[in-house]
Amino acid sequence: MAKEEWISSSARGAGGSRDYKLWVPRTVDREKASPLLMLLHGCTHGPEDMAEISGMNEVAEANQFLVVYPEQSRLANLMKCWNWFDPKHQSRDVGEPSILAAIVAQVCSHHNVDQDRIYLAGVSAGGAMAVIAGATYPDLFAQIAIAAGGEFKAATSVSSALAVMKQGGPDPVQQGQAAFEAMKKGLGQKPRRRMPVIVFQGTADTRVAPVNADQIIAQWGKTNECLASASGESDFALSEEIIAGEVPNGHAYRKHVYRDQTGCLLMEKWIVDGLGHAWSGSPKPHQYGDPKGPNASAEIWRFFCEAGSRGKTSAARSEFRQQTSREISS
């Protein structure tokens, strides 16, 4: 069995170049195609920080997938924030989305990657950029995970970004339609009917208000409705089930589970009581990581695996029909 390793490199897209680090677990069978997760750090951080805060490398080790950590440059943003709020970085084939796509392409050119299992996750500014990159490259990224982020094109300037963080962004129905329009070029490359999304948000987050998590779900609910309609579906609907839980000696949480009309898992929203602006379930205490929350890294991987499975049993369909639920507004 090969030894685990960090591989440092850089890639160039239409919008410039960025360094990145790739984690290759020792458990990966290099003769077989492996899933790839891109994980975007928050402001002031880098790849090593993100790996330490999230514990994602350990999850990758246990589940045999690669993790790539792009690094924002201080030349692009003094605080090393991804520029999710700048219109120059909100479209396909330009700015930072093009660079992230180039990083994926470079990793795929050097490693045996399962092209249908390339995932995208991010926290804070990285979470907001994950939404943008996922919408602009739906042919590349199969699913998205966002922690303390914002809806698609929630802001278009620094001042509006600060306002969004405190009180949320524009109408998520409008932004959901905009995200679908942004997906069209990528959909021409690789058609799809759904974009699964999982969101984590703390109630005690003083930097990103919890309303942003609600808006992300509402936005992607609308975007998924548009995807379904474009695929010829006329009966698209989402049910919501709320599951309460608590980490032993840790935080309580509410897990909102959204399934489509066939009973297939499509979205999840985790609201963690007492979690601040931090990664939930961090391996150890950190300014931006809270071990008392549910393990976001493990739950993100579980969600990706479950939502990525299109096989649905009759029992699942029956449970969907019988559960007490309400349709969320699109």
Convert the pLDDT of each residue in 8-33 to its tens digit: 999 999 999 999 999 999 999 888 99
**Cα end-to-end span (Å), the chain:** 49
For the stretch 68-77, pLDDT in tens is 999 999 999 9
Mean pLDDT of 231-237: 94
Residue 304 has a CB neighbour count (10 Å cut-off) of: 23
- Per the domain annotation, does 323 fall within a domain? no
What is the per-residue pLDDT for 314? Answer: 34
Cross-strand pairs, 7: 22
Q: What angle do CA 255, 183, 208 make, to 5 degrees?
A: 40
Give a yes or no: residue 264 inside a domain: no
Is residue 319 scored above 90 in pLDDT? no
261 belongs to a structural domain:
no
304 within some domain:
no
Q: 3-state DSSP call for residue 115? A: strand
Residue 256 within a domain? no
Amino acid at 99: I
Identify the CATH number of the domain in which residue 183 sits. 3.40.50.1820
Place of tokens 């003083």: 206
Which pLDDT value is given to residue 31?
A: 86
Q: Which domain holds residue 40?
A: 5-233
Tell me: pLDDT of 2 over 70: no
Residue 224 lies in a domain: yes
- Please indicate, yes or no, if residue 273 is contained in any of the structural domains: no
The rounded percent of the chain whose pLDDT value lies above 70 is 93
Q: Is residue 324 part of a domain?
A: no
Number of domains in the chain: 1
